[in-house]
Structure 1
Amino acid sequence: MSEASNNAGSPWQSWPLDREIVLSRLIDAPRDIVYAAWSDPEQIQQWFGPEGMEIETHEINLTQGGRWRFDMVTTDGMRYSNRMVFLSLEAPAFIEVEHGTDQDDDPGRFRMLVTFDEQSNGKTVVTLRQMHPSKEQREGAIGFGAVEYGGQTLDKLARHVAKVAR
């Protein structure tokens, strides 16, 4: 069997990996607690976003088809509007959203898949996968700081979950 026919039908054969940003973090808490931090409206507002950013929520409905409209506000008052539309949630395994600015038909929006993998030691691996519509948009997001800011967000999640799991 040839290599090409062996991979026929594989999603990896045609998936444009150069459009992804993938971040992962081991969290010292059970999967259900980590998933709840992402799916509970009260909790997500406490920790989400990079260091130094506060969240101001305008609307929050963390169910399939629901939206979370919010601003990330810096210490000097700069505002970044955000909208997440929740496409699919399967507790406690994954959450899939469309994320962009808080405007209809935002050309910069991207798909984000967050997975929660429980380890045999009771810890959870959280993987955050951003899937951008083009290689150029991915490169722009990286240039803006998506990797650094995403890492800071996962650090804040770990700190939040450590408090909740006590």
Structure 2
Amino acid sequence: MSSNPTQVTAPEGQPYIDIVREFDAPPALVHRAHTDASLVERWLGPDGLAIEFDHYDARTGGSYAYTNIDPGGGRYGFRGSFHLVEDELIVQTFEFDGWSGHVSLESMRLIALPGGRTRIENHAVYQSVQDRDGMVDSGMESGLTEGYAKLDGVLAELSD
């Protein structure tokens, strides 16, 4: 288990979620793990689900589409566009195919910390409080926490 907890804040009545997580790796590696499709597929999503990419083009103006597949064959598609990809900031949209039209805008900042560590601060804005509550109720926090635990392992490998 990681010593770096995932902090998810969803203020009541507000249409956003803030996520903060620290990683024991420098910002350049954390950025690479978020933009290199071959690395993203190793950590993105909850435990027990496979991931299949249609495409993943993490650059300003690029887009992505992927599907999580559960052990019973259930498929859950996600897609979005990258509006800005810089060394310390990634801005993208996020949409679940099962709730089409309910798009969030996410901005993730990568902040260098002492000792070659990184803190990510992700701010996700939804079109309504109802949309935000639907995301919270979907189990996103546990899936995010499990994915970040896998990301810790990927980053440890890249650091060796």
Tell me the TM-score normalized by structure 2.
0.85
* Cα deviations by residue, 1:16-73 (Å, 9 ceiling, x for unpaired): 9811112221100111011100011221122111111211011221111111111011
Q: Let me know the Cα RMSD of the aligned residues.
A: 2.0
Runs of 4+ residues deviating >6 angstroms = none
| Percent of residue pairs identical | 22
Deviation at 1:102, TM superposition (A): 4.7
Among candidates 140, 151, 161, match of residue 134 of structure 2: 140
More helix by share: 1
* Residues 1:54 and 2:50 aligned together: yes
Quick check: which has more Rg, 1 or 2? 1
Unaligned residue ranges in structure 2 (runs of 5+): 1-11
Take 1:134 and 1:66, find their aligned partners in 2: how far apart are those partners? 25
Give the TM-score, by structure 1 length: 0.82
The aligned residue for residue 13 of structure 1 is none
Q: Does 2:32 correspond to 1:36? A: yes
Figure out how many residues of one structure are paired with residues of the other and give that number: 149
Long gaps (5+) in structure 1: 1-15
What secondary structure sits across from 1:133 in the alignment?
coil
Once residues 35 and 159 of structure 1 are traced to their aligned partners in structure 2, the CA distance between those partners, rounded to angstroms, is: 15
The equivalent of 2:90 in structure 1 is 95
Match of 2:125 among 114, 125, 131: 131
Query: Which has the larger share of strand?
Result: 2
